Amino acid sequence: MIAPSKLAYIPFVSVENMMKLVHAIGLERFMAELAAYIEADFRRWELFDKTPRVAAHSAEGVIELMPTSDGEVYGFKYVNGHPSNTKAGLQTVTAFGLLADVATGYPVLLSEMTILTALRTAAMSAVAARFLAPKGSKSMAIIGNGAQSEFQALAFKAVCGITDIRLHDIDTAATDKCATNLAGHGLKIVKCKTAQDAVEGVDIITTVTADKQYATILTDNMVGGSVHINAVGGDCPGKTELHRDILMRSAIFVEYPPQTRIEGEIQQLDDDHPVTELWQVMTGAAKGRTSAEAITLFDSVGFAIEDFSALRYVRDQLKTHPFHQQLDMLADPDDPRDLFGMVARAKNA
Ligand code: NAD
């Protein structure tokens, strides 16, 4: 528990400070270390307080709250998903999050999480692939070359040793942007005109498109054996990326089934279709890939524990990095019962 005298000001990591932190640590190292934090928290999965996120849907998108607690620390993220935002020059996904001390209920960290969500989503994808992808995987297709895409590429390089990336987006400007951003990062990049071309011969397929509909980014004939699919973009009711027939041929791995059944690719399947929880693969309680020829599918929707891990990682980094401000967001009168007096005295201050 943090001493009460230190609690009046809350450390706040702004967008500017998050970028400074990322560069001070190094982007790839940041995601590799974050992947280790996620894995550590997945290994103690059972002690977390878990609930599907609370979603407010509209015609344009969704706004969600994602809470969890390990009994000592509580965390939540506010996040939106608005696929048509980019047409207005706005982000599809923006987020911020908070950690609090369970013993006092006092916040201990407030942070931007738009950048941190991209980092944690990529780190989560990469750690899942480390357990599920074919041994010795070197190549990955990325379909959907928007805000998340470069983070995915670099996390897979840092965590899984991916060397070759094949890019495709229906908007060639997005692919050009992604290829330009990834230049000089030690990856071999190929731009592909079609999704079919992009997935040709790769070990891993990442789908990270944004569209508020049942889309078919991958059809059944595009996916052979010996491949791992990292399906990131389908993360809402009514929003999927894969043809149902691919799911029927795949060993499916999920974060938290009660949330993924509503939001993931598996919303296309019966409620009792077998899926494996990733944390069980990490602890050895369940099998991951069972043969070289199998299709493994990580049906990623993003779960609160990953955001908790990300905030926990950032909080630990602030012990050695100065990149935060002290935010006056907690009224903390000297006499805890004299909140009114504090307000009254401020009139003359
Ligand atoms: P973005 O809008 O920046 O990029 C999405 C890209 O997908 C765009 O470049 C668009 O042209 C492309 N696209 C759309 N339809 C396509 C198609 N049929 N074929 C090929 N490309 C297509 O969005 P983003 O921030 O990169 O997020 C992508 C998706 O990932 C969103 O749906 C978001 O909700 C989801 N997401 C999931 C998680 C998770 O944990 N699973 C986390 C963050 C974001």
pLDDT in tens, 108-123: 999 999 999 999 999 9
Looking at the fold, whether 108 and 180 belong to one and the same domain comes out as no
Q: How many CA atoms lie within 13 A of 30 on its CB side?
A: 26
CA of 146 to the centre of ligand 1 (A): 6
Per-residue pLDDT of the chain (349 residues; tens, 9 = 90+): 444 444 479 999 999 999 999 999 999 999 999 999 999 999 999 999 999 999 999 999 999 999 999 999 999 999 999 989 999 999 999 999 999 999 999 999 999 999 999 999 999 999 999 999 999 999 999 999 999 999 999 999 999 999 999 999 999 999 999 999 999 999 999 999 999 999 999 999 999 998 878 899 999 999 999 999 999 999 989 999 999 999 999 999 999 999 999 999 999 999 999 999 999 999 999 999 999 999 999 999 999 999 999 999 999 999 999 999 999 999 989 899 999 999 999 998 7
Q: What is the pLDDT of residue 8?
A: 74
Chain-centre distance for alpha carbon 114: 10
Q: What is the DSSP string of 133-153?
A: SPTT--EEEEE--STTHHHHH
Q: Is 235 a catalytic residue?
A: yes
Identify which of 53, 209, 230 to mutate to test ligand 1's pocket (most ligand atoms within 8 A of the CB). Answer: 209
232 lines ligand 1 (CB under 6 A): yes
Q: Give, as one character, the DSSP assignment of residue 49.
A: B
Looking at the fold, whether 280 and 139 belong to one and the same domain comes out as yes
User: And the tokens for 41?
Assistant: 């928290």
Looking at the fold, whether 199 and 170 belong to one and the same domain comes out as yes
Looking at the fold, whether 87 and 21 belong to one and the same domain comes out as yes
Q: Of 41, 235, 299, 307, which one is the catalytic site residue? A: 235
Looking at the fold, whether 252 and 313 belong to one and the same domain comes out as no
235 lines ligand 1 (CB under 6 A): yes
Identify which of 78, 91, 93, 207 to mutate to test ligand 1's pocket (most ligand atoms within 8 A of the CB). Answer: 93
Q: Are 201 and 172 in contact (CB under 8 A)?
A: no
Q: What is the pLDDT of residue 2?
A: 41
CATH number for the domain spanning 267: value is 3.40.50.720
Number of domains into which the chain is organized: 2
Cα–Cα distance, 233 to 209 (Å, whole number):
5
Q: Locate the ligand 1 atom nearest the alpha carbon of residue 121 and give its number.
A: 40
Given the DSSP bridges, would you call strands 240-242 and 276-277 parallel, antiparallel or unpaired? unpaired
Q: What is the pLDDT of residue 1?
A: 41
208 lines ligand 1 (CB under 6 A): yes
CA distance readout (Å), 227 to 175, 231, 251: 23, 12, 11
Looking at the fold, whether 67 and 157 belong to one and the same domain comes out as no
The reply to whether 339 falls in a domain is: no
Identify which of 208, 243, 256 to mutate to test ligand 1's pocket (most ligand atoms within 8 A of the CB). Answer: 208
Looking at the fold, whether 150 and 294 belong to one and the same domain comes out as yes
User: And the tokens for 201?
Assistant: 């011969």
Q: What is the pLDDT of residue 213?
A: 85
The reply to whether 333 falls in a domain is: no
The reply to whether 344 falls in a domain is: no
Looking at the fold, whether 102 and 189 belong to one and the same domain comes out as no
Looking at the fold, whether 296 and 167 belong to one and the same domain comes out as yes
Looking at the fold, whether 178 and 208 belong to one and the same domain comes out as yes
55 lines ligand 1 (CB under 6 A): no
**Count of helix runs (H) and strand runs (E) in the chain:** 11, 17
Q: What is the pLDDT of residue 5?
A: 43
Q: What is the pLDDT of residue 201?
A: 96
CA of 34 to the centre of ligand 1 (A): 22
Print the domain residue range for 110.
Answer: 4-115+305-328
Q: What is the pLDDT of residue 233?
A: 95
Looking at the fold, whether 165 and 83 belong to one and the same domain comes out as no
The reply to whether 338 falls in a domain is: no
SS3 8: coil
145 lines ligand 1 (CB under 6 A): yes
For 54, other C-beta atoms within 10 Å of its C-beta total 11
Q: What is the pLDDT of residue 3?
A: 42
